[in-house]
Amino acid sequence: MVENAPATASSTAAETLARPDHDVVIIGAGVCGIYQLYRLLQMDLNVTVLEAGEDVGGTWYWNRYPGARFDSESWSYGYSFSQEVLDEWSWSEHFAAQPETLSYLQFVVDKFDLKPHMQFGCTVDRVVWNEGDRAWSIHLADGRTLTTRFLLTAIGLLSAPMMPRIEGVEDFNGQAFHTYHWPKEPIDLTDKRVGIIGTGATGVQVIGAIADKVGSLTVFQRRPNWCAPLHNSKISEEEMAEIRSRYDEIFARCAETPGGFVHGPVDERFFETERAERLALWEELYDSPGFGIWLGNYREVLMDETANAEFNEFMADKIRQRVKDPSVAEKLIPKDHGFGVQRVPMETNYYEAYNRDNVELVDIGETPIERITAEGLRTTDREFEFDILIYATGFDAITGAFDRIDFVGVDDLKLREKWDNDPISYLGMGVSGFPNLITLAGPTSGSVSTNFPRGIELAVDWGTALIRHAIDNDITRIEVTPEAEERWMEHVRDMYGMLLLRNARSWFTGYNANFTRERRPRHMIYAGGNPRYRKKLAEEASAGYPGFRFE
C-alpha cells in the first residue's frame, strides 16, 4: 500500500489518503456482478470481481439439478444493455434450461473480455471498514487481503443453501445432494430409488423432470405450494427473428409491470366482473405460458382475502382434475396459505408425476421425518430405503449470503447484528454505518422481487452513477443517513401491508424452518413494484442524493 501523500494546496481528497489496491471490488460473478463489472470498466476504474465458484454464472453456475430452468421468458431475462448481444444471441426455448443460461452468461463475459478482471475460487470471509483510509479491507479464505475504496455486493438472493435441520444427515450411505450443490458430473438416476425432501419451486422442477427417469421416487412434502403450468416450448429461428424485432417493445413492457415481467395485472377489477368472466380469464391464464396466472391476474387476487379464496378454489379444482387419486390430490392442495402469497412454482408434468406407479407422496406434515438413516430415512410411520437423497430444502434467502461474510463497519458495527431484527437499509442499496458499500440485490431492493436482470440493470446503473458522482466530485466517503433508512423502511412496511404475502411463511418474510432459533417476520423484498422503485431511485439521484452524507 502507498503511504499517505502529504496534503498540498492542490491535492484532491482522494490524493491525501492511502491509495487502496482497487477503486472498486465486486463480490460475485453472477448476472449482477457481470453487468456491474462491464459498467465500471467503461469508466476506466481499477476493478476486480471476487467469485467463490470456479467460473462465472452465480445461480446458473451452481444450480445444475435436473429440471433447473427459467420461470421468466428467456427473451425477457437476457440483458438489455447491449444491442450486439441482443442481435447475436438466440434462445432455443421460451423458458431456457440452466445449461443454456450458463452458456449465455459465458457468451456475454467472453464478448466483453471480462474474465481477466475476475478472480475465481475466492471466498470472502470478512470485510472491515478502515475509517482512516476511507477504504475496505477484504479478507479472503485463502489468506489474502485486498483493499478497495468502494465495495459492491453482487452475492445473489438465493445463494446460501440451507440443509434441513433433521438428525442423522451425515449418516446416509448413498449419494445425497442439496439441489444448489448438484454435481457437474452426470448422475445416473436409472433404476435408482430416490427420495426428495422439499416441494418449493426447486423441488417441483426436479420432481417433474425425474419422475419418469428413476426407479422409484418418494416425495416428502411438509406444506404443498400452489403450482401452475409453465407451458414451455421451443423457439424456431423465424420466431427468434420476430422476438428480436420486438426487443424494444418487450423491455418497455417489462419496465411498466410491477414484477418486471411481460405479465402485469389486468385492468379489470375483480369485484366489478361477473363470475363467468373471471373463470374465462383464469382458464386462459392457466393455459398460457409463464407467470401470467400469478402476475397477470386481477390485482385483488393478491390483495384481498375474498378474491384470493375464490381463485384458490379454481386452482384446487385444477389439481383435482390432474391428480387421479383424490386423497393424493387433497394432500397437494395448500390449506395454510392462498395462491400467490408464496412464490408460485411453475411446473411441467408435476401433478401428473403423482399418477405414476413409481411415485409416492408422503405427507410429513402428518408423519414427520424422525431422522435420516444409513439406508434412507425414518418417519414417525415408516422406514424408507434410498440410493439417492435430494434436499430441495431452499435457502437462507437474501440476508443469508450477507450473514456468511463478516461485515464490520464504522466503530466495529457488525452488519449481522444491525440486521438481526430486520434488514434495515436505504433503497436496498446502502446501509448506515457501512460507508462506500453498495448492496446491489440487497434486502428491500427492487431487484429481489422482480425478473432479476430487469431489476439488476436498474440497480447497477444507479450504483454506477453514484460512484461516478463521488469520483467526479472528489468524494471519498459516502454513507446513508439513519433518517433516510428510517423513512425507507416505513415505506417498505407500508408496501408489504398492501399485499397478502405479508402473512406468508416464506422467504418473502424471511421465514425458514431450518434456522436454529425462531426469527421474527422480516421485510426482505420491496413489494411496491418495479415502476415505483425506479421512480424512488431516480428521485434520489436527481435530488443530489439527499439520503447520503458525502465527504
Pick 198 or 400: Cβ nearer ligand NA7: 198
From the CA atom positions of the chain, what is the Rg in Å? 24
- Under the binding rule (CB under 6 A), the answer on residue 166 touching ligand NA7 is yes
Task: With beta carbons less than 8 A apart as the criterion, state whether 409 and 434 touch.
Answer: yes
Residue 78 binds ligand NA7, judged by CB under 6 A: no
Nearer to ligand NA7, 197 or 466 (CB): 197
Place of cell 431511485: 537
Q: Is the dihedral of CA 285, 454, 116, 126 positive or negative?
A: negative
The Cα–Cα gap between 543 and 551 comes to 17
- Binding string to ligand NA7 for residues 211 to 250, with x set by CB under 6 A, is what? -----------xx---------------------------
Kind of pairing between the strands at 145-153 and 216-221? unpaired
d(C-alpha 342, C-alpha 440), whole Å: 23
* Closest-CA residue to 369 (of 237, 220, 247, 486): 220
- Binding to ligand NA7 by residue 165, rule CB under 6 A? yes
Taking the C-alpha atoms of residue 365 and residue 221, their distance in angstroms, rounded to an integer, is 7
Among 343, 418, 534, 536, binds ligand NA7 (CB under 6 A): 343
C-beta of residue 350 within 8 angstroms of C-beta of residue 227: yes
Query: Taking the complex as a whole, how short is the minimal distance between the CB of residue 392 and ligand NA7, in angstroms?
Result: 6
Which residue stretch of 36-44, 199-207, 226-234, 254-262 sits at the interface with ligand NA7 (rule: CB under 6 A)?
A: 199-207
Cβ atoms of residues 479 and 430 within 8 Å: yes
Decide: is 252 part of the binding site for ligand NA7 (CB under 6 A): no
Rule CB under 6 A: say whether 508 interacts with ligand NA7: no
CA geometry: angle at 485 spanning 482 and 486, to 5°?
90
Q: Is 262 in the site for ligand NA7 (CB under 6 A)?
A: no
Is the sign of the CA dihedral 394, 220, 68, 77 positive or negative? Answer: negative
Interface residues for ligand NA7 in 356-415 (CB under 6 A)? 364, 392-395
Beta bridge partners of 48: 25
Q: Which is nearer to ligand NA7, 198 or 547 (CB)?
A: 198
446 binds ligand NA7 (CB under 6 A): no
Beta carbon of residue 223, minimum distance to ligand NA7 (angstroms, whole number): 4
Using CB under 6 A, pick the residue from 58, 66, 67, 164 that binds ligand NA7.
164
Contacts of 542 (CB under 8 A, 6+ apart): none
By C-beta, is 222 or 416 nearer to ligand NA7? 222
233, with CB counted inside 10 A (0-12, 13-18, 19+), is exposed
Among 20, 30, 66, 200, the residue binding ligand NA7 under the rule CB under 6 A is 200
- Of 197 and 437, nearer to ligand NA7 (C-beta) is 197
Residue (of 218, 136, 175, 167) closest to 407 by Cα position: 136
Q: Measured from the CB atom, is 49 or 392 closer to ligand NA7? A: 392
**CB-based contacts of 147, cutoff 8 Å, min separation 6:** 1, 20, 21, 22, 130, 133, 135, 136, 137, 138
CB of 161 to ligand NA7, least distance (A): 8
Give least dist CB 193 to ligand NA7, A: 19
> Which amino acid, one-letter code, is at 70?
F
Stretch that binds ligand NA7, among 41-49, 109-117, 208-216, 506-514 (CB under 6 A): 506-514
CA gap 500, 340 in Å, rounded: 9
User: Restricting to residues 123-162, which ones interact with ligand NA7 according to CB under 6 A?
Assistant: 158
Q: Is 203 in the site for ligand NA7 (CB under 6 A)?
A: yes
Q: Which residues pair with 135 in a beta bridge?
A: 130
Residue 304 near residue 297 (C-beta atoms within 8 A): no
Stretch that binds ligand NA7, among 2-10, 45-53, 134-142, 201-209 (CB under 6 A): 201-209
CB closest to ligand NA7, residue no: 200
Query: Residues 35, 62, 104, 507: which binds ligand NA7 (CB under 6 A)?
Result: 507
What residues are paired with 379 via a beta bridge? 369
DSSP reduced 3-state for 109: helix
CB contact at 8 A, 128 and 137: yes
Closer by beta carbon to ligand NA7, 393 or else 445? 393
Taking the CB of residue 118, how many other CB atoms lie within 10 A of it?
20
Q: Is 445 in the site for ligand NA7 (CB under 6 A)?
A: no
- Site for ligand NA7 (CB under 6 A): how many residues? 22
- The least CB distance from residue 261 to ligand NA7, in Å, is 13
Query: Would you count residue 296 as binding ligand NA7 (CB under 6 A)?
Result: no
Q: Applying CB under 6 A, does 514 fall inside the site for ligand NA7?
A: yes
The nearest distance, CB 259 to ligand NA7, in angstroms, is 12
Q: How far is the CB of 507 from ligand NA7 (least distance, A)?
A: 5
335 lines the binding site for ligand NA7 (CB under 6 A): no
The residue ranges that bind ligand NA7 (CB under 6 A) are 158, 164-166, 197-203, 222-223, 343, 364, 392-395, 507, 513-514
